[in-house]
A and B are shown apart, each in its own frame.
Chain A
């Protein structure tokens, strides 16, 4: 990730853990749905004669959509990472734009685990760690359920041990 780095100073490394490989299925499904909805709408309009899009528009759309469905999940899977230590939580998300978030354990206020319908089918869960700041909770999407539950227990215990009113 730090390939653009020129200096020899310390570099922030990626968080250690990948999320569940099955998370790619969730992202891929999402991308497919995102791609299909406008496609179907345009197709209907085209067939009813309301629109008359040239062929190259269809081809370009297909290329972009296919890239989104095929490549995005692969790439995203490499970026989405997380790590916890005794004193901090560290996440990395995104794919084109990236964001890393670090929060000290002593400032953790709540730890939530949620499962969407798709997530339940695939046995995946999302863990959200919030601090007293309304800006930027740390979300770890696509963890497998067992890992997620262990993580929640872990974080809750450590945050409690740190104490304080977290502001």
Chain B
């Protein structure tokens, strides 16, 4: 099984040395996987035990329920091995079916180490290697679950410092000591627990709360409890006022709940957040997590820009988040890796400037998109919001709809005006010596700075209404991050000029002088 099948004969010496280097997962993973599998199989196991005790002689079933998960863990350990040859990393999996993943070392973009609580107690790390493959499914990354902490860090060093080390012997103890001592590494950002005050302003709290309510509410809805309450005489005898008080207190309760959950989630995820720069390997290094720790290493050569997230809540509180635009990160997380969690804006901008080594992209005044774009913002914000009270008014006139619905929704168009004004003010773009900058959005607003050399194509979209307004949406496509970054609703001539200036020599061959 460990015999090389198709190795090139041309470099026998190094091959011989590396042949012996089939490595396996750390034996301690045997303890992690069964625990994980037992948790995953918990419903089945409980079912078996319940059935078993209910039946007359369910003896052996008890043990099978536990044995299967443990067996799966054993099989996974026995069937996984990997090695690093001078040119590539190979991962073998499977006993009957066989799955070989191979990736050239120079395509390794990122290395991520994660450790759940169980991993940490056992001194283990799960290693995920991102290889910037353009597959959209995104499951092409190599996962080693798990290695000893030392081993994992050594592997990361090997993979990211490949140029000199691999040829001189990848298991030399010198490299092993490397990451622990971390020569020439500068801490750029350290987590401040006071930042937790921004957590309730992010949307994640609402999401968690909705999820939690769904988990609790699902079974509740299944039972007859809610309909019983709704149909009971007690409820129907309540006055409208009491109902609205009830609704208001429910809303308030939801807000408090989501704030608490958001804060908890924020602390769990970002506790001990540390961003460091390692000069020797030209990488940035993010470490975070209270229970599950996560370490991401970002190769500076793979960094294509930054996203400054300024959702409404954070913006009003003078805060923001910073994500890196990187090639080869997991598509599931949309290829953006957090560099600063929700934190005060000066901190975010400070780190951003440090990373970009240029103040322009994050500070530069943006070119506004003009009156047509402004009109479009107002129409798009106000029309749908004004329709709500109008339709309700119609319903009131036609039938037995409570009139206070109209009163309640009447301020919506005013909100629309505010929304449109904010959206237009935030809309803008700029071109700096090295970056294309675009900013947009109110609730989920962002300012993206994308390296001009990272742009690998332009899409110019125009809907029917945009064409009438003389506007286009200009999208820069890239191999990194979200894969595309959009300059929204910009005048056609401006868009063309921007695309032409940002990537010289590409668009110019398709330009003509305007005849009109």
Q: A-B pairs with CB below 8 Å: how many?
A: 137
Q: Which of B327, B470, B482 has the most CB of A within 10 A?
A: B470
**Separation in Å of the B404 CB from the closest CB of chain A?**
37
CA distance A8 to B514 in the complex (A): 5
CA distance A61 to B68 in the complex (A): 60
Q: Which residues of A contact B369 (CB under 8 A)?
A: none
- Taking the complex as formed, is B389 at the interface, i.e. its CB lies under 8 A from any CB of chain A? no
CA distance A167 to B329 in the complex (A): 14
Q: Which residues of B contact A2 (CB under 8 A)?
A: 492, 514
Contact assessment for B478 and A11 in the assembled complex, using a CB-CB cutoff below 8 Å: no
- Taking the complex as formed, is B150 at the interface, i.e. its CB lies under 8 A from any CB of chain A? no
Q: Which residues of A contact B467 (CB under 8 A)?
A: 4, 98
CA distance A24 to B134 in the complex (A): 33
- Taking the complex as formed, is B468 at the interface, i.e. its CB lies under 8 A from any CB of chain A? yes
Q: Which residues of B contact A13 (CB under 8 A)?
A: 510-512
Q: Write the chain B residue with the least CB distance to A106.
A: B456
- Taking the complex as formed, is B182 at the interface, i.e. its CB lies under 8 A from any CB of chain A? no
Of A44-52, A69-77, A127-135, the segment with at least 4 beta carbons within 8 Å of chain B is A127-135
Of A28-36, A84-92, A148-156, the segment with at least 4 beta carbons within 8 Å of chain B is A84-92
Decide yes or no: A10 and B509 within 8 Å by CB, A5-B493, A100-B460, A133-B477 being known contacts. no
| Interface residue range, chain A | 35 or more
Cβ contacts B462-484/A at 8 Å (1 or 0 each): 11100110100001011110111
- In residues 439-492 of chain B, which contact A (Cβ within 8 Å)? 456-464, 467-468, 470, 475, 477-480, 482-484, 492
- Taking the complex as formed, is B212 at the interface, i.e. its CB lies under 8 A from any CB of chain A? no
CA distance A98 to B463 in the complex (A): 6
- Taking the complex as formed, is A109 at the interface, i.e. its CB lies under 8 A from any CB of chain B? yes
Q: Write the chain B residue with the least CB distance to A9.
A: B493
**Separation in Å of the A2 CB from the closest CB of chain B?**
7
Decide yes or no: A4 and B509 within 8 Å by CB, A100-B459, A133-B477 being known contacts. no
- Taking the complex as formed, is A162 at the interface, i.e. its CB lies under 8 A from any CB of chain B? no
Of B221-229, B349-357, B496-504, the segment with at least 4 beta carbons within 8 Å of chain A is B496-504
Q: Write the chain B residue with the least CB distance to A167.
A: B479
Q: What DSSP secondary structure best describes chain B's contact surface?
A: mixed
Q: Which residues of B contact A15 (CB under 8 A)?
A: 510
| Interface residue range, chain B | 35 or more
Q: Write the chain B residue with the least CB distance to A83.
A: B510
- Taking the complex as formed, is A97 at the interface, i.e. its CB lies under 8 A from any CB of chain B? yes
Contact assessment for B497 and A133 in the assembled complex, using a CB-CB cutoff below 8 Å: no
Cβ contacts B96-115/A at 8 Å (1 or 0 each): 00000000000100000000
Q: Write the chain B residue with the least CB distance to A95.
A: B464
Contact assessment for B483 and A134 in the assembled complex, using a CB-CB cutoff below 8 Å: yes
Contact assessment for B475 and A104 in the assembled complex, using a CB-CB cutoff below 8 Å: no
Q: Write the chain B residue with the least CB distance to A130.
A: B134
Cβ contacts A1-23/B at 8 Å (1 or 0 each): 01011111111110100000000
Contact assessment for A9 and B459 in the assembled complex, using a CB-CB cutoff below 8 Å: no
Contact assessment for A167 and B506 in the assembled complex, using a CB-CB cutoff below 8 Å: no
Binding site for B on A (CB under 8 A): 2, 4-13, 15, 83, 85, 87-88, 90, 96-104, 107, 109, 130-136, 138, 165-167
Would you list the 6 A-B pairs with minimal beta carbon distance, nearest first?
A135-B484, A132-B479, A103-B457, A133-B477, A107-B456, A135-B483
Known: A7-B493, A107-B456, A132-B479. 18 other contacts (CB 8 A): A9-B493, A10-B493, A10-B500, A10-B514, A11-B513, A12-B496, A13-B510, A13-B511, A87-B505, A90-B510, A100-B458, A101-B457, A107-B457, A131-B479, A133-B456, A134-B483, A135-B483, A165-B107
